[in-house]
Amino acid sequence: MIRVYTVSRKELQSGEISSSETLNNLGSKCDWLWIDGSDLDESETKIVSSFFRIEEKTLNDITKGKISPSYERYRDYVLISIPSVEFEKKLRVHPISMIIKERMLITLRDKCDTPLIGKIAETLGGYMVENGEAHPSFVVNRLFREIADQNSKAMISLRELIDEVEEKALAKPWDKAITHSVFRLKKEVNTLRRLLWIEKELMSDVKERVIPHVQLDEEARLILTDAIGNVERELEFVDSYSRTLDSILRLQDLGVIHRLERTLIYLTIMLLLLNVLIIIGEYILSTFLR
């Protein structure tokens, strides 16, 4: 689905489109426009590609969920892919990609991020009512903040699952299923660390005015500073999660060692009993032979 937000005469309007002609007409009549694409099909990809003169390969890479560790600069536009994550039993990554031009912005995403985009559109509308005008960079900066907040929720879910695994490990430290869960979580924690680092570096580039076509006023700078601080805190949490998982593995090692010690004690007792029985048997046999 393609939804277009247009800004003309300091008014924000929106609507769905399904043809290149409609998009071309809107583009020629507005001050700037924001195209939001959700789960684009082949025909919709061609509409966006032809209007923005973007290579279809680039759009196909985006729709496949490709995440670049930094912004990519092309002929007359910039591509940014921000990792958005959620965690319900397992980590799920659905990046939101932005293609930024001087007077145009495209966001390409998964349908599960529709509420997030709707919130930003509502914020944009409210801002224009109060201030009369806005720049596409307003959407870019708010999108970074909203994704940072959304990723924080994933951190809470991950922490809850780690606590659950830790409780199981305390109850049954020898359970091999717990070991499998720990190694799966360690893999996802490492992935999350990498994605948060990418998010932080992209926001730092915007804050330092490195990325072309992205403007930054004082309010946006404060928003980004706050979001970067949140991501840095999340990275510290990720490191603590990794240490917790390592401690669970050590706990399991101790559990296996204790279980092995008990097994050896039982075997030793059985061997002693067997030796006693052998001695008694030999005594009885020698007495009988006499």
Q: Give the Cα separation of 243 and 241 in Å (integer).
A: 5
Q: Of 3.40.640.10, 3.40.190.10, 1.20.140.10, 3.30.460.20, which CATH number belongs to 2-250? A: 3.30.460.20
Q: Give the Cα separation of 216 and 179 in Å (integer).
A: 47
pLDDT digits (tens, 9 = 90+) for 112-145: 888 888 899 888 888 887 877 778 888 889 999 8
The confidence band for 173, taking pLDDT boundaries of 50, 70 and 90, is confident
The confidence band for 175, taking pLDDT boundaries of 50, 70 and 90, is confident
Find, among 185, 35, 151, the residue nearest to 82 by Cα.
151
Q: Are 47 and 19 in contact (CB under 8 A)?
A: yes
Residue 209 has pLDDT above 80, yes or no: yes
**Cα dihedral across residues 187, 188, 193, 197: positive or negative:** positive
pTM metric for this prediction: 0.79
Q: 157 burial class (0-12, 13-18, 19+ CB within 10 angstroms)? A: middle
Q: Are 124 and 158 in contact (CB under 8 A)?
A: no
Q: Who contacts 149 (Cβ-Cβ below 8 Å, separation ≥6)?
A: 230
Buried/exposed code over 115-142 (b: 16+ C-beta within 10 A; e: otherwise): ebbeebbebbeebbeeeeebbbbbbbbb
Residue 29: what pLDDT? 76
Paired tokens of 71: 């912004």
What are the domain boundaries of the chain? 2-250
CA-to-CA dists, residue 71 to 75, 199, 214, angstroms: 13, 11, 12
Q: Give the Cα separation of 181 and 65 in Å (integer).
A: 26
pLDDT digits (tens, 9 = 90+) for 30-71: 778 888 988 888 788 888 888 777 776 777 777 666 777 788
Paired tokens of 169: 């490990």
Residue 256: what pLDDT? 63
